[in-house]
Structure 1
Amino acid sequence: MKIAQITYSTKPRGGVVHTLALAEALAARGHDVEVWTLGRGDDTAFFRAVDPAVRVRVVPFEPREGEDVGDRIERSIAVMARSFSADADIVHAQDCISANAVEAAGAACVRTIHHLDAFTTPRLIECHELAIHRPVARICVSRAVAAEVATEYGYTPTVIPNGVDAERFEAAAGPAGDSERSRWRAELGDYVLALGGIEPRKGSIDLLEAFAMLRARRRELRLVFGGGETLFDYRSYREAFDRRAEQLGVVPTILGTLPDGDVPSLVAAARALAFVSTKEGFGLAAMEALAAGVPVVARDLPVVREVFGEAVTYATDARGIADALGRVIGDGVVDPIAGVRLARSYTWQMAARAHEDFYRALLGRGGERDAAVPLLDHR
């Protein structure tokens, strides 16, 4: 099959990581795969090298001073729509910008709905809604999100879980990763890690509150944030975060976007990963931490219960997060083997096979819009 995968950025966000890993796994199965993306600013390539078997098309997208989020999203859709011209059997959009751009270019697409957003501005709401209704078929990476889509929109998405590059994170936790882990510990000491930047969906202020409680008992710990590239403008939230950090006397370490090669060792050197998002589709960062044998404290959400079972420690509020972090760091109550085994069970090869079956079923129906496709179970 000729397959075009479309994403909105070259940066290491979860959906972009998903796009590249899936594209490479599909190419390894013999498919002709092309990935389209917007190159924001000076970006001419993705955040990491991509298997040469996958063709990459980066559409230039220049920044504009003073542009608000709504205008930037509308322009993102328009720029991609003008450039997109893939000759493909399947066009697969991985986000709302991509789905709207493909439709504007006159092509039909499959859409992966990683999670449902809760936008408040009319233009963002419209972008989000159209990207759910217009695709010919929908995929979700968890049953919990698929159930939300069914309840709120009446569609029955196919569930195909993410894969995880577990070997990469296991290696970072093993003897081969000793020097890199030591480097992080020399720089940061003992630390609790959060990935994905400082933003409302990541529950960053809740984590800050929790860490202030934890630090009263564990003065040696530091709070470290890695990642954070996003299309949206979270300046007001970041200002609130900074004010609260000053009030609490907490000075978090903000690493920002990291080279891809540094992430596994940063994760593997952490005492715990705080995964306290208020909304998630799967939880790739938490699964990578489990692969590295790092305990995870997660917000108690249906999607997290579904994907992680008893492999993580749950909490519902700042006090609970602080207590859970204290337990997993101090008591050693978490069996890392269970988490490693869980992470190994989710592979991109499995995900690629499931997508291949999904694509073929859709093509066999002639791309019939809104046809029901059975849910796929994780094995």
Structure 2
Amino acid sequence: MRIALLTYSTRARGGVVHTLALAEALAARGHDVHVWSLARGGDGAFFRPVDPAVTVRLVPFPDRPGEDVGERIVRSIDVLGCAFAAAHESYDVVHAQDCISANAVPTCVRTVHHLDTFTTPALAACHERAIVRPSAHVCVSAAVAGELRAGWGIEATVIPNGVDAAAFGAGAADVAGRAAWAGRVGRYVLAVGGIEPRKGSLDLIDAMALVQRRIPGLTLAVAGGETLFDYREYRAQVLRRIEQLGVAVELLGPVAQADLPSLVAQADAFAFPSVKEGFGLAAMEALAAGVPVVMRDLPVLREVFGDTVRFAADVPGLACEVLASVAQPDPQRVIAGRRLAEAHTWDAAARAHEHFYLASRVGLGA
């Protein structure tokens, strides 16, 4: 099949990681796969190298000073849509991976990684169109598929994410890489995804204040942070809380993909206090690296991770489980976590997508 996968950014976010890995797995199975993306702010490539078997189609998207989030999203849709239409490409399947790309093309299938809530009318309308217009839907967990069914009466095909278990498993054996992170940060609990409301950053700061009373030398390291939305006010609130509570935090910003496995593997524990998720890919990567994971007790995360992680419902619980993970790591849970991660392959995801494309018969000739 000739397949177009569309995403909204070249930078490291869960949906972009998914898009590239799925594209490569489909190409390895003999399909002609093109990945379309906006290249924001002068980006000339994705955050990591892409297998040459995949054709990359980047659409320039220069920054505009003073542009608000709503204006940026509307412009994103227009720019990506115009470039895609102007190319006059013929694809058997057009597969949008997010709200922006689903609005940019007239006919597509859509993966719903998670559902957002918008209060701005224009953004709420974009979100609604990106759900109801696609001809068929994929969700990465049954929990998100249940939200689609309950909210819109849409039946979605559930295809879980894969994970590059080999790369993150190799991080544990990267002695030099791990030593470099230990030298830079010391002992640390790691969170990936930056500072934003959905990631539960404020609760994590409060929890780490409790943890550091017991283990003063244990830093919180926060990696990542690229996002389309403007969380400056929330970030300022988090930074004030860090100062008020005296929490030791290392804000690493975006981390090069080659350095990420050793960063994850060196962590004493991986914290994942998100208030909303569709799967939890970063946490699955931590399991692949053999790192204890503590996460918020959400139905979707119970579904995906089962008993391979520790769950917490509130800030004291999060602190308690982090302390337990650091003080008494559970070898059986670590082994089970690695096995779970290794079972989630991108080849299996690609095979499931093949069946989905053939069964749905959508996106033909788009």
Superposed pair shares fold, TM > 0.5: yes
2:307 aligns to what SS in structure 1? coil
Aligned residue in 2 for 1:151: 150
Aligned residue in 2 for 1:358: 356
Q: Determine if the alignment matches structure 1 residue 295 to structure 2 residue 325.
A: no
Determine the C-alpha separation between the residues in 2 that align with 1:121 and 1:216: 41
Aligned residue in 2 for 1:373: none
8 Å CA contact 1:295, 1:334 repeated in 2: no
Aligned residue in 2 for 1:224: 221
Determine the C-alpha separation between the residues in 2 that align with 1:153 and 1:366: 21
Aligned residue in 2 for 1:270: 267
1:19-64: CA deviation from partner (whole Å, max 9, x where unpaired):
0000000000000100000000110110111011100000000100
Gaps of 5+ in 2: none
TM-fit CA distance, 1:246: 1.1
1:309 aligns to what SS in structure 2? helix
1:229 aligns to what SS in structure 2? coil
Q: Which residue type is aligned with residue 260 of structure 1?
A: Q
Determine the C-alpha separation between the residues in 2 that align with 1:366 and 1:34: 14
1:316-363: CA deviation from partner (whole Å, max 9, x where unpaired):
111110000000100123531111000000000000000001101122
Please, which of 197, 201, 206 is the counterpart of residue 204 of structure 1? 201
Please give the root-mean-square deviation of Cα atoms over the aligned residues, in Å.
1.0
Determine the C-alpha separation between the residues in 1 that align with 2:350 and 2:193: 25
Segment drifting more, 246-255 vs 221-230: 246-255
Determine the C-alpha separation between the residues in 1 that align with 2:112 and 2:302: 19
Aligned residue in 2 for 1:20: 20
Give the ranges of 4+ consecutive aligned residues of structure 1 lying more than 3 Å apart after TM superposition: none
1:310 aligns to what SS in structure 2? helix
Q: Determine if the alignment matches structure 1 residue 113 to structure 2 residue 112.
A: yes
Aligned residue in 2 for 1:374: none
8 Å CA contact 1:69, 1:232 repeated in 2: yes
TM-fit CA distance, 1:146: 0.3
Q: Determine if the alignment matches structure 1 residue 240 to structure 2 residue 243.
A: no
Q: Which residue type is aligned with residue 327 of structure 1?
A: A
Aligned residue in 2 for 1:338: 336
After the TM superposition, which residues 179-198 of structure 1 pair with which residues of structure 2 at under 5 Å, given as runs?
A: 179-198=176-195
1:325 aligns to what SS in structure 2? helix
TM-fit CA distance, 1:102: 0.9
Determine the C-alpha separation between the residues in 2 that align with 1:245 and 1:227: 18
Determine the C-alpha separation between the residues in 2 that align with 1:340 and 1:222: 25
2:219 aligns to what SS in structure 1? strand
Q: Which residue type is aligned with residue 349 of structure 1?
A: D
Aligned residue in 2 for 1:96: 99
Q: Determine if the alignment matches structure 1 residue 312 to structure 2 residue 315.
A: no
Gaps of 5+ in 1: 368-379
1:84-136: CA deviation from partner (whole Å, max 9, x where unpaired):
03310000000000000012xxxx10000000011121111111111000000
Determine the C-alpha separation between the residues in 1 that align with 2:102 and 2:60: 18
Determine the C-alpha separation between the residues in 1 that align with 2:126 and 2:219: 39
Determine the C-alpha separation between the residues in 1 that align with 2:323 and 2:43: 41
Q: Which residue type is aligned with residue 162 of structure 2?
A: G
1:120-179: CA deviation from partner (whole Å, max 9, x where unpaired):
2111111111100000000000000000110011101000000010000111112xx011
Determine the C-alpha separation between the residues in 1 that align with 2:248 and 2:231: 19
TM-score by length of 2: 0.97
